[in-house]
């Protein structure tokens, strides 16, 4: 508490100063217009638009203009600028792990990501997809981020944080834009945007293409290296480069007319390399593919006095497909194989083509919802809604050269040549087809019970077909102490639904599902301050304290090599976040933030590890000549401990610096930009997973070396 006490004293002094200096009504109205007139609005905090300072949560809004200043080419580079959020990396495909406030897990199921307010969560892993492949930024109008729980509004997985990506409409584009980018590691990007009218409809179209060979940082040793040491073999491909090739196509359509809006999209991923290997053994052979289709139809009306009605129907289909064999362990590997044909106690078997398993899944998600908002009461703003979600893993397919051959009942490795056997739709498959039905209702009231005071209170009830009920309340007390200072005291709870993988996976050499799992739960208390002492200066300060319970982990089974998913463990965390935005002069804007967190595994009485204890971010945007801007930024990542049982030294700190130089409106229609990532070519690494008896990748996950990009775009 001693480290946080000075901040509380400072916050209290701000409030006391506000009470001691009354202003006239006219002065206050003028100041409010000046200060909040240009303030960003946020909708995901409560379900309707309101200024960030008055929202019942700690929120960040990043606009398309901000994204340009950052020089970002992918959404991960944008999110890394949010206070208290660090983008770590999964060993599989270097998929992003959006670590909010020290809440880390391999598949990052504790973060809800939405596109235009609709979740894109896969039921199989509970994440955004194992074949994620990044998300381009040209068609993003704004990104809203809430730090802390949001299940009272959005239900499952709005746990550690919520990210809502809002794509561009006709009004955001107004005309046509085409552009291209080239960069290091044979990276090529191209895009086209169009906003206009057609047959009475407002139309927005976006097409974005990305292809890269991927960064080629070297992994020194992997899990196969350990098998080689134990068995005297030499099959490991380490030292060797990570496998991060990508071939992405993103397409979106937005049609609106009157009260109706239709949106559709495709995220196509192919030639997708899995980085350090699915089993943490280098695999240059494998390529994944995926298609993520989405469509939604929304009817919104505010034409009836005091009523705001929204009806929405959405469809989302996603896949995880194998384009080239998933080689869990490389050609020539020798592994101990048990009587079930899996890795375990048994005789060593050599696999000439590698230890191969090709799991594929296809999912569809259908959602229908109806929400109501009523403002007819003098002091209350009510919002309620009901909805139904249907999640279906409707097809699973797998071929492999291990396990039991369902046709013969004998282990596959006992057969000559160790062929690939298709075990789909048999007792030897890795997961059955399964579905989940969710019905929910929620209610929220914003009560302006006194001058400058409001209380937002609400709750949501969810009924799941596979694990039962969950109820999540929230409350936020907001005090507008004066026209430039707002204080918030907030409580929220959340839950994370078990994934299909955690509940139903079978015949896996490492992990097994558990259909009796309960959801993870979260309780969070926050105190926040929003202070705008000058027209050109915005300061934020907040404190948080959370309890993460019933954590789902894979616990080793007795006398076997497998682990089974269990609800076990509690994590407690607390910390502070400070942020500032200062328009120093008309041509110079300075943005920065600092985040501190402590997280402890209460069950093991040990630091939770992985996440940085300190993060510092600083960005300048300097318009040094008309239409010219220079934007350097730096991020310091400090103090990452190892988890329980991991005897390695702490993960090394690093300072990451980027530069972007941009010229706009060249010849009135052309923009050009040049960017450098990792300017000082630091050896930055993200933590690899702990292991028993040692980490599979002992020297962590190397990030890219210095990277250059150049781009040009045309508007007409």
Answer positive or negative: Cα dihedral of 70, 73, 74, 76: negative
What pLDDT, on a 0 to 100 scale, did the predictor assign at position 174? 85
Rounded Cα gap, residues 179 and 215, in angstroms: 23
In the block, residue with structure tokens 């085409």: 178
Tell me the average pLDDT across 192-198.
97
- Say if residues 561 and 577 touch (Cβ distance below 8 Å): no
Q: Quick check: helix, strand or coil at residue 497?
A: coil
Helix, strand, coil percentages in the chain from 3-state DSSP, rounded to 5: 10, 55, 35
Distance CA 383, CA 309 (A): 10
Question: Measured between alpha carbons, how far is 637 from 639 in angstroms, rounded to an integer?
Answer: 7
Is residue 153 within 8 A of residue 442, CB to CB? The reply is yes
Q: Can you read off the two tokens belonging to residue 289?
A: 């593919």
Confidence of residue 702 (pLDDT cuts 50, 70, 90): very high
Q: Closest by alpha carbon to 675, among 152, 182, 151, 155?
A: 182
Query: 53 falls in which pLDDT band (50, 70, 90)?
Result: confident
CB 252 within 8 Å of CB 195: no
SS (H, E, C) 352-372: CCCEEEEEEEEEEEEEEEEEE
Q: Angle 443-446-452 (CA atoms, 0-180°, nearest 5)? A: 170
Does residue 80 surpass a pLDDT of 60?
A: yes
Spatial CB neighbours of 508, under 8 Å, sequence gap ≥ 6? 430, 562
Confidence of residue 39 (pLDDT cuts 50, 70, 90): low
Over residues 231-238, mean pLDDT: 95
Q: For residue 79, what are the CA distances in angstroms to 113, 145, 162, 459, 629?
A: 12, 9, 12, 28, 22
Instruction: List the beta bridge partners of residue 492.
Output: 474, 524
Structure confidence at residue 509 (pLDDT): 79
352 close to 327: Cβ distance less than 8 angstroms: no
Q: Are 601 and 644 in contact (CB under 8 A)?
A: yes
Residue 28 scores a pLDDT above 90 = no
If you average pLDDT over residues 233-245, what whole number do you get?
A: 97
Distance of alpha carbon 121 from alpha carbon 110, whole angstroms: 11
Tokens representing 116 are: 């235009």
Q: Output the six-digit token pair for 564.
A: 């089974």
Asked whether the predicted pLDDT for residue 215 surpasses 90, the reply is yes
Longest Cα–Cα distance in the chain: 90
Query: 52 or 289: which carries more pLDDT confidence?
Result: 289
Chain center to CA of 549: 21
Q: How confident is the model over 374-394, as a mean pLDDT?
A: 96
Dist CA 158 CA 165 (whole Å): 14
Instruction: Supply the pLDDT for residue 21.
Output: 38
Q: What CA–CA distance (Å, rounded) separates 638 from 651?
A: 9
Q: What are phi and psi of 152, to 5 degrees?
A: -65, -20
User: Is the per-residue pLDDT at 26 higher than 70?
Assistant: no
In terms of Cα–Cα distance, which of 461, 569, 566, 558 is closest to 516? 566
| Strands 485-496 and 520-534, sheet pairing | antiparallel
Model pLDDT for residues 640-688, shown as the tens digit of each residue: 999 998 999 999 999 999 999 999 999 889 999 999 999 999 999 999 9
Q: Is the pLDDT of residue 114 over 60?
A: yes
d(CA 94, CA 243): 9
- Environment class of residue 558 by beta-carbon count within 10 Å: exposed (0-12), middle (13-18) or buried (19+)? exposed
User: Rounded distance, CA 127 to CA 661, Å?
Assistant: 35
Please give the backbone phi and psi of residue 18, each rounded to the nearest 5 degrees, phi first. Answer: -65, -40
Q: What per-residue confidence (pLDDT) applies to 1? A: 39
The tokens of 694 are what? Answer: 């040692």
- Say if CB 539 and CB 35 are below 8 A apart: no
Instruction: Specify the 3-state DSSP secondary structure of 652.
Output: coil
Q: Over range 229-240, report the average pLDDT.
A: 95
* Pairing, β 111-115 against β 161-167: parallel
Residue 287's nearest CA partner among 381, 191, 213 is 213
Tokens of 454: 């409001």
| Predicted confidence (pLDDT) per residue in 607-632, tens digit | 999 999 999 999 999 999 999 999 99
* Sequence-ordered alpha helix ranges (H) in 21-62: 25-36
Q: pLDDT tens-digit profile of 250-275?
A: 999 999 999 999 999 999 999 999 99
Alpha-carbon distance of 95 to 77, in angstroms, equals 13
Give which of 490, 472, 586, 463 is closest to 148, Cα–Cα: 490
Coil/strand/helix, residue 65: helix
Task: Encode pLDDT of 536-571 as tens digits.
Answer: 999 999 999 999 999 999 998 887 778 999 999 899
Average pLDDT over residues 360-369: 98
Residue appearing with tokens 């289709």: 293
Which structural domains are found in the chain, ordered by start?
A: 5-715 (2.40.170.20)
Of 466, 460, 481, 456, residue with least CA distance to 435: 466
| Tens digit of each residue's pLDDT (9 = 90 or more) over 2-24 | 433 333 333 333 333 333 334 33
Mean pLDDT of the chain: 92
Distance separating alpha carbons of residues 122 and 157, to the nearest angstrom:
11
Q: What is the mean pLDDT of residues 196-209?
A: 96
Please state, for a pLDDT cut of 70, what percent of the chain lies above it: 95
| Residue 283 confidence (pLDDT) above 80 | yes
Report the alpha-carbon distance of residue 339 to residue 344 in Å, rounded: 8
Residue 43 pLDDT more than 90?
no
């Amino acid at each position: 508490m001693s480290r946080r006490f000075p901040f509380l004293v400072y916050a209290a002094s701000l409030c006391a100063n506000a009470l001691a200096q009354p202003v006239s009504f006219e002065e206050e109205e003028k100041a409010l217009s000046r200060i909040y007139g240009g303030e960003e609005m946020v909708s995901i905090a409560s379900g309707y638009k309101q200024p960030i300072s008055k929202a019942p949560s700690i929120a960040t809004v990043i606009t398309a203009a901000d994204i340009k200043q950052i020089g970002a080419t992918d959404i991960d580079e944008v999110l890394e600028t949010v206070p208290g959020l660090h983008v770590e990396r999964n060993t599989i495909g270097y998929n992003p792990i959006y670590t909010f406030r020290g809440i880390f897990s391999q598949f990052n199921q504790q973060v809800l990501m939405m596109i235009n307010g609709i979740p894109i969560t896969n039921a199989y892993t509970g994440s955004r997809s194992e074949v994620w492949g990044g998300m381009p930024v040209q068609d993003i109008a704004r990104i809203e981020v809430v730090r802390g729980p949001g299940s009272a509004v959005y239900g499952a997985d709005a746990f550690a944080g919520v990210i809502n990506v809002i794509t561009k409409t006709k009004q955001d584009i107004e005309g046509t834009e085409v552009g291209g980018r080239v960069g290091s590691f044979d990276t090529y990007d191209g895009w086209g945007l169009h906003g206009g009218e057609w047959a009475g409809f407002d139309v927005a179209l976006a097409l974005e293409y990305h292809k890269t060979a991927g960064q080629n940082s070297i992994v020194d040793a992997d899990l196969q290296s350990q098998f080689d040491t134990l068995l005297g073999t030499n099959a490991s491909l380490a030292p060797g480069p990570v496998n991060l090739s990508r071939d992405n196509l993103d397409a979106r359509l937005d049609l609106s007319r009157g009260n109706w809006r239709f949106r559709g999209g495709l995220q196509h991923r192919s030639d997708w390399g899995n980085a350090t290997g699915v089993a943490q053994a280098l695999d240059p052979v494998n390529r994944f593919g995926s298609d993520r289709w989405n469509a939604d139809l929304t009817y919104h009306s505010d034409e009836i006095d005091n009523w705001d009605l929204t009806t929405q129907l959405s469809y989302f289909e996603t896949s995880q497909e194998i384009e080239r064999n998933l080689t869990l362990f490389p050609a020539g590997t020798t592994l101990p194989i048990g009587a079930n044909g899996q890795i375990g106690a048994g005789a060593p078997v050599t696999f000439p083509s590698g230890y191969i398993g090709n799991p594929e899944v296809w999912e569809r998600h259908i959602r229908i919802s109806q929400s109501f908002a009523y403002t007819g009461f003098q002091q209350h703003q009510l919002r309620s809604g009901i909805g139904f979600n249907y999640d279906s893993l409707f097809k699973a397919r797998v071929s492999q050269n291990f396990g039991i051959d369902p046709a013969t009942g004998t282990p596959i490795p006992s057969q000559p040549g160790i062929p690939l056997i298709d075990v789909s739709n048999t007792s030897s498959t890795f997961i059955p087809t399964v579905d989940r039905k969710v019905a929910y209702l929620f209610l929220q009231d914003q009560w302006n019970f006194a001058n400058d005071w409001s209380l937002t209170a609400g709750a949501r009830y969810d009924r799941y077909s596979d694990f039962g009920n969950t109820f999540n309340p929230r409350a936020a007390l907001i005090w507008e102490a004066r026209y430039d200072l707002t204080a918030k005291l907030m409580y929220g709870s959340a839950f994370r639904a078990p994934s299909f993988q955690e509940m139903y996976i079978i015949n896996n050499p490492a992990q097994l599902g558990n259909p009796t799992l309960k959801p993870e739960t979260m309780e969070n208390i926050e105190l926040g301050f929003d202070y705008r002492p000058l027209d050109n200066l915005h300061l934020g300060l907040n404190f948080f304290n959370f309890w993460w319970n019933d954590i789902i982990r894979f616990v080793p089974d007795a006398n076997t090599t497998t682990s089974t998913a269990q609800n076990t463990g509690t994590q407690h965390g607390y910390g502070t976040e400070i942020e500032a935005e200062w328009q120093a002069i008309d041509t110079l804007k300075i943005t920065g933030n600092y985040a501190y967190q402590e997280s402890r595994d209460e069950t093991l009485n040990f630091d939770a590890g992985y996440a940085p204890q300190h993060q510092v971010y600083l960005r300048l945007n300097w318009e040094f000549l008309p239409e010219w801007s220079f934007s350097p930024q730096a991020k310091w990542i400090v103090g990452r401990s190892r988890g329980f049982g991991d005897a390695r030294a702490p993960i090394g700190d690093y300072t990451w610096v980027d530069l972007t130089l941009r010229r706009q409106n060249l010849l009135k229609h052309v923009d050009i930009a040049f960017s450098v990532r990792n300017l000082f070519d630091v050896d930055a690494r993200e933590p690899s997973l702990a292991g028993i008896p040692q980490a599979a990748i002992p020297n962590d996950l190397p990030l890219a070396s210095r990277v250059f990009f150049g781009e040009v775009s045309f508007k007409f």
